[in-house]
Chain A
Amino acid sequence: MFYREAGDFKTSYRDDSQTFPIKFDRYRYYVVLAVAFGIIPFIINDYWANALLLPFLIYAIAAIGLNILVGYCGQVSLGTGGFMAVGAYACYKLMTAFPDVSMFIHVLLAGGITAFVGVLFGLPSLRIKGFYLAVATLAAQFFLVWLFNRVPWFYNYSASGQINAPERDVFGIIVTGPNASAWATYLFCLIFLTVSAIIARNLTRGTTGRTWMAIRDMDIAAEIIGVNPLKAKLTAFAVSSFFVGIAGALFFAVYLGAVEVGEVFGIQKSFLVLFMVIIGGLGSIFGSFAGAAFLVLLPVVLKLIGVDLLGWPTDIVAHLNLVIVGALIIMFLILEPHGLAQLWRVAKEKLRLWPFPH
């Protein structure tokens, strides 16, 4: 009953263009932030961090990044895994080369380097679109994984060909390596996610976001009314890769600790993040969160119900997971192309009028 915009008057354009124009939404957002920063760090344990929270936070960053490219700018990319690998290897090289520098700086720089690589591989988008661009980014995916596998400089000539995250800290608090505590890694990733989401929201509600969406919806008309397609597409690639690179760096350094590139950042990773964006909702920041949460939770919940409760064999449950994800993708593409975010929006619109039907 209290989800209402009636009586919530805006007297300036600034109020009208804020992220949560409805008061109830705004308070809910503050509550979520307070719980995430103020309560969860005190009750977190290793299982929760590693099974749920860290993958959710990191995938959400990657999904926001990919959503900017695919959902907002309409440039299909299958190279997410490759760009995450760039972030991870850039972070690794920086961590080993400058051991005394704060981990924050390393992750940010890794994002910056990925943004640069992303722009390079985004150049074909100026000529080709749709499926053809998807294939071009697929080439980026395979090339980058091949590169990190074959050039020993990237993994510091280690015998195994793996990269291992050494112990690094932020203001004296260890966030990487085996001795990092769960709350520290959680907070570290949460800060990156929060800032990424705010930046993504600011960009998408302003001029840059409008040029991206203009290119997505009708590129020729966009150019004729004054959108520079080169600038719009390349900024989308840069910002997107920046977030994806940060996600890759965190995935390697904070979450896994040791990475074999073909296994972790292969084509499956690209598809996984793309599925998050599709299920969550193309062109929606909230959708990136929803999609990441959904695909991280699904296997855990299935395992809880299937293996622990019903006593099914593990491999059947694992395959069931794939079947469900596949079915959901098809279902969403046919029934609700805008994903969970659209379902959420529709529910909110209904709530505003509830209990009246119109």
Chain B
Amino acid sequence: MLDSSEGYVTEDGRKIGGVVMEMKNITLRFGGVVAIKDISFDIREGEIRAIIGPNGAGKSSMLNVISGFYVPQEGEVWFHGAKRPPMRPYEVAQQGIARTFQNIALFEGMSVLDNVMTGRLSFMKTNIFQQALWKGKAEAEEGENREAVEKIIDFLEIQHIRKTPVSRLPYGLKKRVELARALAAEPKLLLLDEPMAGMNVEEKEDMSRFILDVNDEFGTTIALIEHDMGVVMDLSDRVVVMDYGRKIGDGTPDEVRNNQEVIDAYLGVSHD
């Protein structure tokens, strides 16, 4: 189904563009432990790309490599057609890669609004003296960014809690606020680390709807890690399967589902 480097059209008729991010022969070691072993894959513009695999397969490490938190010992990361030099995580964020975390990493002492506003850091251009003065540039900038943030708050339906301190929120809402914070950065690539972990069915449905809407409405490229197979197979356009740090499968959900190695390693043998 992958015709060329020009992209492809998904089953539901969405057009997927060229390569946004390409991982080339990534190897990541922690001392003697090889977390990721010679993995290559690409993420294309506008697609929802899933990374799946059993516990300890190296999925989160892979996401951490993409977001610059780990620097791989071997291999290259290409972003928007250019090889990415080793950089600090905040520089990666400024390039337009936003993410959420497996264990929610919100700023507990701040309100929902402040949390989401923090996501817009790369749009804040005033210096500390202008901010100390507040009147003028800083106030105008705050207003503009607040407007953008309010759109995302509307989009994710969290208006009623915008002034609530995050520490008072239930788990499902925290996950949504975290998504809002990542979206506020208007990312070119959005990384979601187990967005549905620990949720009940309704919350999972809500979250799936939001992920699809984000992809649909903003055209955001999304890479996600998820354990719920039903969700992964329904949401994603292409799936990378990892096991023990190796890539054992890559393709559409159907291709992956029928890949014998994947079935053996992870999905188990079908009973029906």
Interface residues, chain A, with chain B CB atoms under 8 Å away: 12-14, 16-17, 199, 202-203, 206-208, 210-211, 213-214, 216-218, 220-229, 235, 239, 283
Q: Which residues of B contact A227 (CB under 8 A)?
A: 90, 118, 121
Task: Enumerate chain B residues within 8 angstroms of A239, measured Cβ to Cβ.
Answer: 128
Please report which residues of chain B, range 44-85, place their CB below 8 angstroms from some CB of chain A when the two chains form the complex. Answer: 67-69
Contacts A225-B98, A225-B121, A225-B181 known; A217 to B107 CB distance under 8 Å? yes
Q: A217-B110, A223-B90, A225-B181 are in contact. Are A211 and B99 (CB under 8 A)?
A: no
Q: A225-B93, A226-B94, A235-B128 are in contact. Are A202 and B121 (CB under 8 A)?
A: no
- Give the interface centre of A17, A199, A207, A213 by most chain B CB atoms within 10 Å: A207
* Cβ distance B98 to chain A, nearest Cβ, rounded Å: 7
Task: Give the CA-CA distance A199 to B94 in the complex, in Å.
Answer: 28
Q: How far is the CB of B152 from chain A (nearest CB, A)?
A: 14
**B190 CB, nearest partner CB in chain A, Å:** 12
A-B contact count (CB 8 A): 107
Does B108 belong to the interface (CB within 8 Å)? yes
Which secondary structure dominates chain B's binding surface? helix
Query: Is there contact, CB below 8 Å, between B118 and A224?
Result: no
Residue of A nearest to B166 (CB): A217
CB distance from B84 to the nearest CB of A (A): 15
Given A199-B132, A229-B90, verify A221-B121 contact (CB < 8 Å). no
B147 at the interface (CB under 8 A from A): yes
Chain B residues with CB under 8 Å of A220's CB are 69, 105
B151 within 8 A of A: no
Given A208-B131, A224-B69, A226-B185 in contact, is the A217-B121 Cβ separation under 8 Å? no
**A179, B110: Cα distance in complex, Å:** 48
Number of interface residues of B (CB under 8 A): 42
* Cα distance A220–B67 in the bound complex, in angstroms: 12
Asked if residues B126 and A207 are in contact (CB atoms below 8 Å), the reply is: yes
Pick from A203, A213, A229: contact of B131, CB under 8 Å: A203
Q: Are A226 and B143 within 8 A (Cβ)? A: no
| A-B pairs with beta carbons under 8 Å apart, 16 shown | A14-B142, A14-B143, A202-B134, A203-B132, A207-B138, A213-B114, A214-B118, A222-B107, A222-B118, A224-B99, A224-B105, A225-B118, A226-B93, A226-B122, A228-B90, A235-B128
B17 close to A (CB within 8 Å): no
Residue of A nearest to B68 (CB): A224
CB-CB under 8 A for A211 and B121, given A12-B143, A225-B181, A225-B185: yes
Q: Roughly how many angstroms separate A79 CA and B94 CA in the complex, as a whole number?
A: 34
Q: Which residues of A contact B210 (CB under 8 A)?
A: none
Choose one: A14, A213, A228, A283; the contact of B139 (CB below 8 Å).
A14
Is B1 interfacial (CB 8 A cutoff)?
A: no
B109 beta carbon closer than 8 Å to chain A: yes
B107→A214 contact, CB < 8 A? yes
How far apart are B16's CB and chain A's nearest CB, in angstroms?
Answer: 27
In the complex, what residues of B have CB within 8 A of residue A202's CB? 131-134, 138
Name the one of B67, B108, B133 contacting A224, with C-beta atoms under 8 angstroms.
B67
Q: Which of B88-116 contact A (CB under 8 A)?
A: 88-90, 92-94, 98-99, 101, 105-110, 114
